[in-house]
Structure 1
Amino acid sequence: MQTMSKGDFARECNVTPGRVSQWLSEGVIGLDCLDGEGRNARIIVDRAKAQIALRRDPGQAMGNGLGTRLDVGPVEQDPSDGPQRVQKRDDVAHQIQLERLEQEKRRNRRETIDEQERLGTLVPAGEVRAQMTRLAQQVDEANGAMLADFAAAIAARFEIPQRDVLHELRRVRTEKKASEAERARGRAQSMTETVEMVVGEGADA
């Protein structure tokens, strides 16, 4: 069973002594990894490394903890621990690590989506639909307003009542709008509810 002082263990793992003290205070290194008590306690190297690999925060592990050395040999079991106790403790630690890793992934996804929205490469679908609806209404209103001008020009050219021309133009426009609306509904029904999009660094725009 190889043991080291806290300072030597810090050098062994390529971290600062402060990081080792933090691991101890947060329970990343458990009491079962200490040989002795108080300031003179020494760290059981392989057991401590195994616990750090399981319990440390995934964000720290993927960030400034990339240089941490945690290569371990076979971990010597504490004689006071039965096989079931050791297995249960390791299973719990592993589950905690998986949950922390999943939380880190979700946080990274949220940050990536926020960044894409700030850059304008990702826009909420509801906002796009609202903007397109407003634009379509504005175009339709502008076209409707032009009918009076069209009717006046036609009436003057062919010497017929402007009111009759305007009525006919409005009738044809209404029929065309209804026909186009029906075609649009057919196209919309053929579209999927959602579209899968890869969001992240290097993803195609």
Structure 2
Amino acid sequence: MEIILKEDIIGLGYKNDIVNVKNGYGRNYLIPAGKAVIATASAKKILAENLKQQVHKLERLKAEAEKKAEKLKDVAVEIAARVSSNDMLYGSVTAAMVADELEKKGVEVDRKIITMRDIKKIGTYDAVVHFHKEVEVKIPVTVIAENAAELAAEAAARKAEAAAKKNEEKQAEEAEATEEAAPEAEVEETPQAEEAPAAE
């Protein structure tokens, strides 16, 4: 079904956009929640008239969005999170965490206009801030291990443990080889001991 959005819905469209959605989504959620109206011919006419009248307002909104975007031009975010030994995070890094980090840098951004996939591993990712339908900013988000020293110590301990185990196995093999060689020597000596009385 065709609808007109009455507000921005990230992933679907922006206010006053005409979009197609599944009937159930439109009738059961968007329209009852006041987020959209059915795009009838008269609704489209009204929308066109409103947009004509709002041209200056829309330009002002776009200019404001561009100013906000300018503040984020060279901003990068680094988030420290607790990490397991295989570089997987305990939990995940979300848009709300990115919004908090931006606030610490003096830029207030509503977490609802930030889109990104949930991050579950350390590395560098992109978060997109949607200020306006024509103004979007990509922010690099680097996730680092909060407990790096702990993990390094854990890895070193594991390495030492593996080396000790290898050493133990090597010693056990050597001991086994020595034991196997010893009985053979005894077997060779036994016939000689038996031959001696026969010679008398």
Common fold by TM > 0.5:
no
Name the one with the larger strand percent: 2
Query: Structure 1-normalised TM-score?
Result: 0.28
Query: Structure 2-normalised TM-score?
Result: 0.28
Name the one with the larger helix percent: 1
